[in-house]
């Protein structure tokens, strides 16, 4: 006879008389527990995109934190208006740039456009979220990751190339438009060189020709240390010596930063809340598993993002980092204040790479189709994921005819 030994841990949760009010003030609003910096999906426009959330080359993408500077941008060349040596050379092969411009109704009705690009070594260009040109980075529609190098090296110091489109099909919009470009070096960590500048002309060669984007314009830019959209990662991880490079040369740590699990707290109250002495945990037996730094404050109505990746001991990081990671199979997150009182708790089911989980405006626990780290929860949501269809009988070789059925463990599910 086998003997089974059961053990239990008793945990006392202290809930003060004002707990209902306090919970309403600081809550666990949203989390993402299964991000992937390599898993691709096809979006509702048929584009191959990475991870979850808005795409960096869409006008709606929040790019407020990007730097800006006039073109030409790059490193390793003379005559650059914005020298990016410190942020790119020997660190990343890619640069992401965005340029917004405004068109009248007449400009949006242009019958043709010409994109002129000065680049080294390869690029992909998007206009209002649609690819319009690429060079040295594979076929149209091919997804190019941030750590991907150009397929070949430029044969000249910089290549100047024109791309003309005559079937625009409503591509241009009255009002604000976006031209976005990713530029890639042929060498991943070598010093090398990179350069970019571009111009956009509407109805080229006609009396009504106009240039909403000209050479030397100011662009928003972001170094390709990690993917610009699809998830959240820590941009300030310290560099480490390059063991295969020249003396003194460094590379990012890690070489390609992974998307991190994250938890978002929301202060719904009318006054700021200090989180000094507060703790966050995914283990009810360890209420003090991770403590907020003493200086942490959430202003009234604001949100605070905590990355759950175990990098809490590293200095100089942009985000707060908890000492634990989130289980993608589902668990419970608990928030305690400085007195040990439970302020909020959120239990979540199994997670995937393309959805977040949190609290809707009505107070329901739901999956969100569009994760919104650091912003209000919004967009389509659903409370339950349908179980994958099961095939019966299972795959195999049979001597006679078989009746094949598909079923789902989710009550009321329809298989189309």
Mean per-residue pLDDT, 237-255: 58
Query: CA 258, 263, 267: angle at the middle one, nearest 5?
Result: 145
User: Domain 40-230 belongs to what topology?
Assistant: Jelly Rolls (2.60.120)
- The yes-or-no verdict on residue 261 having pLDDT over 50 is yes
For 284-313, the pLDDT digits (tens) are 999 999 999 999 999 999 999 999 998 877
- Residues facing 221 on adjacent strands: 67, 97
Q: What is the DSSP string of 250-294?
A: EE-SSSSPPP-EEEEEEE-SSS-EE-TT-EEES-TT-TTSEE--T
- The yes-or-no verdict on residue 133 having pLDDT over 90 is yes
Contacts of 176 (CB under 8 A, 6+ apart): 59, 100, 101, 102
DSSP label at residue 225 = S
Spell out the domain ranges in the chain: 26-35+257-382, 40-230
User: What local confidence, expressed as pLDDT, does residue 340 receive?
Assistant: 96
For 88-124, the pLDDT digits (tens) are 888 889 999 999 999 999 999 999 999 999 999 999 9
CATH of span 26-35+257-382: 2.60.40.1260
Percent of the chain with pLDDT over 90: 69
More confident residue, 387 or 205: 205
Which segment, 19-33, 50-64, 373-387, is predicted with the most confidence on average? 50-64
pLDDT band for 406, please (50, 70, 90 cuts). Answer: confident
Q: Rounded distance, CA 262 to CA 383, Å? A: 20
Q: Rounded distance, CA 172 to CA 178, Å? A: 9
Positive or negative CA dihedral for 255, 258, 263, 268?
positive
pLDDT band for 237, please (50, 70, 90 cuts). Answer: confident
Q: Rounded distance, CA 127 to CA 59, Å? A: 9
More confident residue, 73 or 239: 73
- The yes-or-no verdict on residue 6 having pLDDT over 50 is no
User: What local confidence, expressed as pLDDT, does residue 192 receive?
Assistant: 79
Q: What is the DSSP string of 139-205?
A: STT----TTPPPSS--SSSSEEEEEEE---TT-S-SEEEEEEEEEE-S-SSS---EEEEEEEEESTT
pTM: 0.84
199, 181 Cβ separation under 8 angstroms: no
For 360-382, the pLDDT digits (tens) are 999 999 999 999 999 999 999 98
- Tell me how crowded residue 352 is: count the other CB atoms within 10 A of its CB: 17
User: What local confidence, expressed as pLDDT, does residue 7 receive?
Assistant: 39
Terminal Cα distance for the chain, rounded: 50
Chain mean pLDDT for the chain: 89
Contacts of 178 (CB under 8 A, 6+ apart): 57, 58, 59, 98, 99, 100, 101, 126, 127, 128, 129
For 315-339, the pLDDT digits (tens) are 888 999 999 999 999 999 999 999 9
pLDDT band for 236, please (50, 70, 90 cuts). Answer: confident
- The yes-or-no verdict on residue 251 having pLDDT over 70 is no
259, 267 Cβ separation under 8 angstroms: no
Lowest-confidence region among 15-29, 65-79, 249-263, 303-317: 15-29
Taking only Cα atoms into account, the Rg of the chain, rounded to an integer number of angstroms, comes to: 26
Nearest residue to 259 (alpha-carbon basis) of 373, 93, 365, 97: 373
* SS3 call for 21: helix
For 170-209, the pLDDT digits (tens) are 999 999 999 999 999 998 766 679 999 999 999 998 888 8
Mean per-residue pLDDT, 60-80: 95
Contacts of 239 (CB under 8 A, 6+ apart): 91, 250, 251, 252, 253
User: What local confidence, expressed as pLDDT, does residue 255 receive?
Assistant: 54
């Amino acid at each position: 006879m086998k003997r089974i030994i059961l053990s239990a841990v008793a945990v006392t949760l202290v809930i003060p008389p004002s707990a209902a009010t306090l919970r309403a003030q600081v809550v666990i609003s949203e989390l993402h527990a299964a991000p992937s910096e390599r898993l691709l999906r096809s979006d509702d426009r048929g584009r191959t995109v990475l991870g979850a959330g808005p795409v960096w080359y869409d006008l709606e993408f929040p790019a407020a934190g990007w730097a800006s500077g006039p073109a030409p941008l790059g490193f390793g060349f003379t005559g650059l208006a914005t020298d990016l040596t410190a942020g790119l050379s020997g660190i990343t092969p890619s640069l992401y740039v965005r340029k917004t411009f405004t068109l009248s109704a007449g400009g949006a009705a242009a019958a043709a456009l010409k994109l002129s690009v000065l680049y080294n070594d390869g690029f992909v260009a998007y206009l209002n979220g649609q690819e319009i040109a690429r060079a040295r980075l594979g076929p149209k529609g091919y997804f190019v990751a941030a750590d991907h190098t150009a397929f070949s090296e430029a044969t000249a110091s910089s290549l100047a190339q024109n791309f003309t489109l005559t079937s625009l099909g409503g591509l241009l919009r009255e009002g604000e438009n976006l031209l976005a470009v990713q530029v890639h070096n042929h060498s991943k960590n070598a010093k090398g060189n990179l350069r970019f500048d571009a111009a956009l002309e509407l109805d080229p060669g006609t009396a009504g020709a106009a240039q909403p984007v000209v050479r030397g314009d100011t662009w928003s830019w972001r170094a390709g240390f990690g993917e610009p959209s699809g998830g959240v990662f820590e941009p300030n991880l310290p560099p480490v010596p390059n063991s295969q490079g020249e003396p003194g040369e460094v590379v990012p740590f890690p070489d390609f930063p992974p998307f991190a699990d994250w938890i978002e707290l929301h202060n719904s109250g009318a006054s700021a809340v200090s989180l000094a002495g507060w703790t966050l945990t995914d283990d009810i037996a360890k209420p003090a598993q991770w403590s907020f730094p003493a200086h942490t404050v959430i202003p009234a109505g604001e949100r605070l993002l905590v990355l759950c990746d175990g990098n809490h001991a590293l200095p100089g990081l942009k985000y707060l980092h908890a000492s634990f990671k989130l289980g993608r199979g589902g668990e419970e997150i608990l928030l305690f204040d400085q007195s040990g009182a439970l302020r909020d708790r959120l239990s979540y089911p199994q997670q995937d790479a393309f959805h977040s989980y949190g609290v809707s405006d009505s107070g329901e626990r739901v999956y969100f189709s569009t994760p919104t780290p650091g912003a209000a929860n919004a967009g389509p949501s659903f409370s339950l994921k349908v179980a994958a269809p099961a095939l019966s009988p299972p795959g195999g070789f049979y001597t006679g005819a078989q009746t094949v059925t598909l079923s789902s463990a989710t009550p009321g599910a329809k298989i189309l």
